[in-house]
Amino acid sequence: RLANAVTPLWRLPYQKQLQVKYESQRKILQTLASRLEELGIDAQKPGGLCCPLQPVVPSPIINGYRNKSTFSVNRGPDGNPKTVGLYVGTGRERNIVCVKANHVENIPSKHKQVAQCYEEFICRSPLDSCILFHEGGHWRELVVRTTSCGHTMAIITFHPQQLGQEALATQKALLKDFFTCGPGAVCALTSLYFQESTMTRCSHEQSPYQLLHGAPHIFEELLGLKFRISPDAFFQVNTAGAEVLYQAVGELCQATGDTVLLDICCGTGTIGLSLAHRVSKVIGVEVVEKAIEDAEWNAAFNGISNCEFHSGKAEAVLPQLLASWEDARPLVAVVNPSRAGLHYRVVRAIRNCRSIRRLLYISCKPEGEAMRNFLELCCPPDPRKKLAGEPFVPVLAIPFDMFPHTVHCELVLLFTR
């Protein structure tokens, strides 16, 4: 049941998985074409698509490709309230159980090993797991990050409830001892982090990540560059797939030596830095402050001097950046937002900047909020919404299989005007 929930295509041969994904992407482009028609835009191309769709680009690695896994702590099928794994069931039907991920194809063995050790640790602990905040308990989720350089980072989330600083210090010491001198030492962690969190998701600014052991960062190599990764920094979950994706993005940008590349939602700067040698300048924007620190370190370490990075919400930073844009050099934008898509003010800033003639939108969920962005980019000018710039047109779609065994794809849509 867990494999079917997390990796629903796992029983299919890989070529068949790619066919299934191609069909789902084709339907998304048909939907976009229909929605554009409703706006009075003639967008129907052969097959009812809004633009040509290339075949799904396969992932170089099919099994165990994830470099980041998040494990929950909850009641298992055997009733153990300290099971570390992934959820099966729904809250609506009140049948959620936490199942060990030992047989899930896309999770590497190292992640499963760390999860097993964490479960052993919390089962020894007299403190309860925190399943529902208001019912008490402490031990919560585990995030494991690994890199092709052999580095492993574990981040453990803990609800402090009413514990004092002394009691918290005791728990942190026990955790550190377990993973450095005890049974958990087998995991050979590069970094062990601890976060006291009183909510479902907590940023570093809301509750700092506390380094209990090892190095503050792990490192990854991608397209000949070295990248530093902080606990909460975004990095594509499939490193080998990301190399293929970023190479294609570089070609689609059609950048020349005088091009300025605008990298919106840039994370640790991977896209911009990997393309920096092709362009005159890279401007990155990212909301996670630690990721920007990583991006700046990555640029300096790799000897790249033509990049500047801005920390803050894109909807606050970008309109200011572009409102006074008078640079004569060609400006190409690459956006890689979360599933929530781009804020309307970001789309409006892009539309209203005449210098942007080419835009690459990278989406892991194009049928979701990204669809709203596609329509906002392509709709006719609307003075009421302060949308003055001429519309973009979708000209090419390329899906990349960054998530084998799942139904998800990373879709790159090229827009021009």
pLDDT tens, position by position, 287-339: 888 889 999 999 999 999 999 999 999 999 999 889 888 888 889 999 999 88
**What integer pLDDT is reported at residue 168 of this predicted model?**
94
**Cα separation, 387 vs 2, whole angstroms:** 46
pTM reported for the whole predicted model: 0.91
Q: Name the amino acid, one letter, at 38.
A: E
Domain formed by 68-216, architecture: Beta Barrel (2.40)
Binding residues, by number, are 236, 286, 336
What does pLDDT average to over the chain? Answer: 93
14-60+238-416 to CATH, choices 1.10.630.10, 3.20.20.70, 1.10.1510.10, 3.40.50.150: 3.40.50.150
Task: Give catalytic status of residue 130 as yes or no.
Answer: no
- Distance (Å) of CA 204 to CA 186, 197, 290, 324: 28, 10, 8, 32
Among the residue ranges 37-51, 128-142, 153-167, the one predicted with the least confidence is 37-51
Residue-wise pLDDT for 76-90, tens only, equals: 999 999 999 999 987
Ramachandran class of 312: left when φ > 0, alpha when ψ lies in -120 to 50, beta otherwise:
left
pLDDT over 70 (residue 203): no
Binding residues for S-adenosyl-L-methionine, by number, are 236, 286, 336
pLDDT over 90 (residue 105): yes
Query: Which residue of the set 187, 265, 266, 364 is catalytic?
Result: 364
- Distance (Å) of CA 60 to CA 10, 107, 127, 138, 312: 16, 15, 43, 40, 34
pLDDT over 80 (residue 43): no
pLDDT over 70 (residue 205): no
Residues of the chain with CATH 3.40.50.150: 14-60+238-416
| Overall average pLDDT of the 19-32 stretch | 96
**Cα separation, 175 vs 154, whole angstroms:** 11
pLDDT over 80 (residue 198): no
**What integer pLDDT is reported at residue 134 of this predicted model?**
79
**What integer pLDDT is reported at residue 296 of this predicted model?**
95
